Amino acid sequence: MTAVPDARGADRVPAADRGATTIADRVLAKIASRAADEALTAQGGVPEAARAPRATVVKHHDRAHVRVVLELAYPSDIGARCAAVRQWVTWRLQELTGQTVPDVAVHVERLHPTHRHGAPR
């Protein structure tokens, strides 16, 4: 590590030698949960009774492995909604944190019927 004088003549440590920022797994999980909610909202939202999306993240070196648990309305295009969540969570985590996200597993925990019993379909 070699100090470099700055404009004022004071020694300054080069950026590469100053250290690194570490982002905790739980912070990445909060970002992933929010990104999943954003993706679902952009597609028309979720049923009122549905819980907010939840995420867990396991980091290994510079890779974040994400699992998102969510609830969806039924009937709907479940595959398309899960793909949109997967894509948006991946993009947001990479954009906001610089983490590589090789996989986002989306688990649909519950489906909420959008029709009422006895009502015509």
The separation between CA 101 and the C-alpha centre of its own chain, rounded to angstroms, equals: 9
Q: What is the pLDDT of residues 2-37, one digit of tens each?
A: 666 566 666 777 777 777 778 899 999 999 999 999
**Per the confidence metrics, is the pTM higher than 0.75?**
yes
User: Taking the CB of residue 89, how many other CB atoms lie within 10 A of it?
Assistant: 26
Phi and psi at residue 87, in whole multiples of 5°?
Answer: -65, -45
Residue 117 reports pLDDT greater than 80: no
E strands within 9-93?
11-12, 54-60, 63-74
